[in-house]
Amino acid sequence: MNYHAKTLLKMHLAPWRMATAGGLLLAGLLAVTGRALYLQGLNTDYLQGKGDAVANRSLTLPAQRGQVSDRNGRLLAISTPVESLWARPADLRLSIVQHAQLARVLEVSPAQLTRMLTRGVRGEFSVRRAVTPEQAAKIAAMGVAGLHLRREFRRYYPAGESAAHVVGFTNVDDVGQEGVERAFQDWLAGREGRRRILRDRRGNTIRDLVPVKSAQMGGNLMLALDLNLQYLAHRELAAAIAQHKAKGGSVVVLDAKTGEILALANQPDFNPNNRSDYRPGPMRNRAIIDTFEPGSTIKPFVAAAVLERGLYHPDSVIDTPETWRVGNKLVRDVHPHPQMTVTEIIQKSSNVGAVKLAMSLTPQQFRDVLHRAGFGERPGSGFPGETAGRLRDAAGWKPVEHATMAYGYGLSVSLLQLARAYMAFANDGEVMPLSFLRREPQEIVGERVFSPGVAREVRTMMEAVTQEGGTGQRTRVPGYRVAGKTGTAHKLVDGRYAADRYLSSFVGMAPASNPRLIIGVVIDEPSDGVYYGGSVAGPVFAQVMAASLRQLGLPPDAPDTATHVTQRATAARGGA
C-alpha cells in the first residue's frame, strides 16, 4: 500500500469522540446482555409464554350425546364418532400438488377448496364436518401443516321419518334444535373434556402437558313412545293423506291411565338424517304447535257441563228443529230430527241441540267447564313450542259466540290438547299430566275435571256415536267397545269460513268399559269429495286403535257378534 493510501485511511478524530462512541457501544452491549440475563435467568415467564403460545394448545374434547330409546329400549337417537377437518391459517402450508390432492379427496374443485381455506379467520375453523373414514385416512397420510382432524360425534336416527317429530334433531354442533333433543338438551349433552398438549412446528402432538380431563357422556332418555305403535300411526296417517288428497294431518295416541304419549305422527314428515333437506314446513309438529277449531268434538263437554249442573239427564228430550236462530246466526242440522234426547244429540251430532244445551248455561259456566278441561292452557307436555290454543274470557262473549262454541267454532285447540281433555271421560273425571318420558302409574296424580258419574254418562253417549245411527260407525273395532266423537269444521281463510275447505277429526277411546287408550286424528283439507270426520279421520282411528289394542294385549270387552264390522266405505258422507 503506498503512502497516499495510508493517509486516506487515517481518522483525524478528537480523542473524546473516540471515547464517547466506544462508551455508547459498550453501554448498548451491556444493556442487551443484561436484558437477556433477566429474561432467561430471572424472569422466564415472558419468553415461556411466547413459546407456549406457539407450541401449546388447549383442546376441547367433545362429549358423546346420550341415547334416546322408546319404552321397550329400541334406539331412536344415537351418536356415532366421526372425524372433521380443521385448519389453522397461521400454520397452513399447502403446496400446489397437495392442494390438488386435497381437492380430489374432498371431492371439490381447486377453486372451491381455495375458498374453503381462505375465510379471513385468524383462529381455527372447520373446513369440512364429518368427513368419511376413507377421506380422513387420506388426509392424515398427507401430513399437511396447518390441517388436522378432530374427533366429533354425529347424530343418527334409526327410526327416520316415523319418529322425527317426537325425537327431533340436532344441528352440526350437536345441539338439539327440535323435539326431545331440544327439550332435554342439558340432560343429553353431557360435559366436554379438556386436553392441553405440546406440539411441534408441523402441528403434531408431542405430549400432554397436564392430565387429560375426560369428557362425560350425556344421560340416556327412555321415552313413553312405543315404536311399534309409532310406525303404525305414521303409516295409517300417510295412507289417509294420500287417499283423501289432504294437505296434512296428525295422530296422537295416549295412555289414558298414565298420560304417556305412546305415539305421535304428523304429515308431511321429514328425514332427520338428511340435513340438506331441512325445511320449516315438514318439520313443524302439527299435533302440538298447530291449532284448529275443534268442531263437533267439543260437544261432549257441552253435555258434561249441563249434566254436572243437573239441568238435563242423558234421556231428557229436547225439541230440535232443522234450524234455530241466535241473533243474526242461523244454526242448522245436517240430519234434522224434530226431537232428540241429550244422548242422541251427541250420537247424531246435532248443532241445534248442542246450542240449546249450551245456552242453558251462563257464558261463565260454560267457559269454566272448558277451562277445567284444559282448553286455553298449554297441555304441559314440555315439548318446545306447544300452544295454549284460544279460549276468550266469557265477559266478552256475544250470544252468537256462546252458541257457536257449542259446536266448536270460536275457540281453537291443538290435537294433543284435545286428546288430553278426553282423558276426563276415559278416567271417570280425572285428567292425567302428559309425559313424553316413560313413567310408572304410581308416580302420577291426576286432576279432577268432572264427577265420576258425569264422566261415565258422557262416555256412554260417545259410545252411541259408534253404533247404528251414530256419526262414527266407521270407527268401530271388532271385539271392543269404542267411545268417541266425530268433528268436521270449515277452515277460516282470510277472516272468512271457506265453503270447500275442511278439518276432519275424530277423538275416541277403547275399551269403552275401562278405557286404556285415547287416539286423536285430524286431517287437514281432504279434497277428494269426502270430508266428514267419521268418514275421513274415523277409519284411521279404527286401524290404529285395533292394532294398538292387540299390541298391548288388552282383552276384548264386547262379543264379536255385536261389534264385528268391516271397514268398507259404507257411509262416505255419513257424519259430522
State whether residue 223 is helix, strand or coil. strand
Nearest to 447 by CA among 520, 392, 343, 373: 373
* Residues 168 and 268 sit within 8 Å (Cβ to Cβ): no
Q: Where are the alpha helices (DSSP H) in 515-570?
A: 533-536, 538-552, 560-563
Residue type, 463: E
CA distance 111 to 165: 39
Residues 6 or more apart whose Cβ sits within 8 Å of residue 360: 306, 311, 312
CA distance 350 to 337: 9
Residues 6 or more apart whose Cβ sits within 8 Å of residue 428: 452, 455, 456
**Which of 296, 350, 414, 435 is flagged as catalytic?**
296
State whether residue 378 is helix, strand or coil. coil
- Burial (CB count within 10 angstroms: exposed 0-12, middle 13-18, buried 19+), residue 231: middle
* Residues 428 and 449 sit within 8 Å (Cβ to Cβ): no
Q: Quick check: is 84 catalytic? A: no
CA distance 417 to 388: 8
CA distance 205 to 407: 72
* β 68-69/221-222 pair status: parallel
Nearest to 156 by CA among 278, 264, 72, 274: 274
Residues 6 or more apart whose Cβ sits within 8 Å of residue 422: 300, 507, 508, 509, 518, 520
* Residues 419 and 520 sit within 8 Å (Cβ to Cβ): yes
Angstrom CA distances, 58 to 195, 212, 337, stand at: 6, 10, 80
* Residues 244 and 527 sit within 8 Å (Cβ to Cβ): yes
Looking from the CA of 317 toward its CB, the CA atoms found within 13 Å total 3
Q: Write out the three cell numbers for 527.
A: 279434497
Beta bridge partners of 87: 125, 147
Tell me which residues are annotated as active site. Answer: 296
